[in-house]
Amino acid sequence: MTIKHHLNDDLLMAYAAGTLSEAFSLAVATHISLCDDCRAALAAYEAMGGAILDGGDDLAPMSDDALARAMARLDMPAPIAAPKMPKHAVLPAPLQHYVGTDLSAIKWRKLGMGVRQAILPTKGKGGSARLLHIPAGQAVPDHGHRGMELTLVLKGAFRDESQHFARGDIEIATEADEHTPVAMSDEDCICLAVTDAPLRFNALIPRLMQPIFRI
Amino acid sequence: MLQAASAGCKGYSVLANKVGNVANGQEMGVGPDFAGLMLAVRDKADRAAYGVVFSHFGPRVKAFLMKSGSDAALAEELAQDVMVTVWHKSAQFDPARASLSTWIFTIARNRRVDYFRRARRPEPEDLDWGASEEPDAADIYQTAEETRRLGAALSTLPEPQRALIERADFGDLSHSEIAAQTGLPLGTIKSRIRLALERLRQNMN
Ligand SMILES: [Zn+2]
């Protein structure tokens, strides 16, 4: 599998630093699960964090009994680690924490024109995440958006203007782009879409639907 | 996997036996071998080695958290949590993948996300590294060396630029919070961050 469309430096850096919102972090973690190039780039940005931690003369002395207090906690039971998720053909591990492993159990809601969505329960400000299910050959209703929008292909493929996106590819669209992903005609397409702000559709009917379906 | 890993780290076990000497950084003028100390923690639950790691990194983790806006008391508590997690998660330490400072940074970062955002941090799927993969001494050296070179490159930056990277990019302070702290206008801060990153890239090449 060759991935052609990658994360950019801003996203990798913010994710490495831990300053990215949960919804955007989900898209980054899902892409990295499928992309070794970006996994390596993330390791480099984390090394920058390590250099900052270790470098310089910035020390904040701890209290005199700090080590003794830590030592006293070592024998307490360790917090239980999250269970290891099974390999899945469509859903990488970070998504499984939100929707499980059964595609048919996902609670899809109709968006019209055969397109369905499932909003994922990410917390905090800074974007919302959803899965989109687009029937083969069908366009996602034409929309503009505020801020940044990430669209990551999990199954099938879509094209947008002149570019082609397959599993693992991530499209990074900004406010200036009026983009219209169209699912390729041979297979339904499932994507993870993360937006900074609620999508606003250009067509009238979807615009009426927007507040109801929270897209 | 753990057994294979520890078998491949005999050299470090020997080093760990000399914790006393190494910890003082007196041997041939080099600093302590933190990867080796941490492997002694991981493979032998070595509390003396842990003490050395704690004394070095505890105050650094606390300083890092204070740069993110914690007051001293809170930073001390969170640094405690981070350093205890270092012990409990030691099985996950792999010096060929990340230097000890990088690995501890990720634990401190996650604690910060957890505490301040009360949000989940989605993590990438683990790679299958293969059952019999033994850490290679050259890989371990290379990984530590990269972090060291990054640190050296960072230290060549003029202080205001370095401080901005530490506080804005890795410290999770918003640009406007930094503006309030430093008295610099927002536009100046943003352009200085860009400059600093530019310079860092040049230094690394
Ligand atoms: Zn990538």
- Write out pLDDT tens, residues A46-71: 888 888 898 766 789 999 999 999 99
Residues A60/A125, Cβ–Cβ less than 8 Å: no
Cα separation of B193 and B195, whole Å?
A: 5
pTM exceeds 0.95, yes or no:
no
What tokens were used for A99? 């929707």
CATH no. for B156-205: 1.10.10.10
For B47-73, what is the mean pLDDT?
A: 93
In tens, the pLDDT along A104-146 reads 889 999 887 889 999 999 987 778 899 999 999 998 765 556 6
CATH no. for B2-15+27-144: 1.10.1740.10
Residue B1 pLDDT greater than 50, yes or no: no
Cα separation of A66 and B55, whole Å?
A: 9
Residue A122 located in a structural domain? yes
What tokens were used for B153? 């490159």
Q: In terms of CA atoms, which chain B residue is nearest residue A36?
A: B127
Most confident of A55-64, A187-196, B12-21, B188-197: A187-196
Q: Which of B34, B74, B70, B63 is nearest to B50 (CA)?
A: B34
pLDDT at B73: 95
Cα separation of B55 and A106, whole Å?
A: 49
Cα separation of B38 and B4, whole Å?
A: 17
Contact residues, chain A, for B48 at CB < 8 Å: none
In tens, the pLDDT along A9-51 reads 778 888 988 888 899 999 999 999 999 888 888 888 888 888 8
What tokens were used for B62? 């606390």
Q: How far is CA A182 from CA A6, A145, A164, B180, B191, in A?
A: 19, 17, 10, 46, 38
Sign of CA dihedral B98, B129, A190, A212: negative
Query: Domain residues for A155?
Result: 1-55+85-215
ipTM comes to 0.87
Residue A191 pLDDT greater than 80, yes or no: yes
Task: Label residue A161 exposed, middle or buried (CB < 10 Å: 0-12, 13-18, 19+).
Answer: exposed
In tens, the pLDDT along B145-201 reads 877 777 777 777 777 777 777 776 676 655 555 555 555 555 555 555 556 556 655
Cα separation of A190 and B37, whole Å?
A: 47
In tens, the pLDDT along B110-140 reads 999 888 877 789 999 987 655 445 667 887 8
pLDDT at A142: 58
* A35 CA → ligand 1 middle, Å: 5
Q: Which of A199, A201, A132, A200 is nearest to A165 (CA)?
A: A132
Domain count, chain A: 1
Residue A211 pLDDT greater than 70, yes or no: no
- Are residues A53 and B51, on separate chains, in Cβ contact within 8 Å? no
Local confidence band at A148 (pLDDT 50, 70, 90 cut-offs): confident
Contact residues, chain A, for B60 at CB < 8 Å: 53-54, 58-59
CATH number at residue A178: 2.60.120.10
In tens, the pLDDT along A70-106 reads 999 998 888 887 778 888 889 999 999 999 888 888 9
Residue B28 pLDDT greater than 50, yes or no: no
Contact residues, chain A, for B124 at CB < 8 Å: 29-30, 32-33, 39, 42, 92-94
B82 touches chain A (CB under 8 A): no
Per-residue b/e over B118-131, b at no fewer than 16 CB within 10 Å? Answer: ebbbbbbbeeeeee
B31 touches chain A (CB under 8 A): no
Q: Which residues are paired to A88 by β-bridges? A: none
How many helices (H) and strands (E) chain B has is answered by 11, 0
B78 touches chain A (CB under 8 A): no
pLDDT at A152: 96
> Torsion-angle region of residue A191: left (phi > 0), alpha (psi -120 to 50) or beta?
beta
Residue A19 located in a structural domain? yes
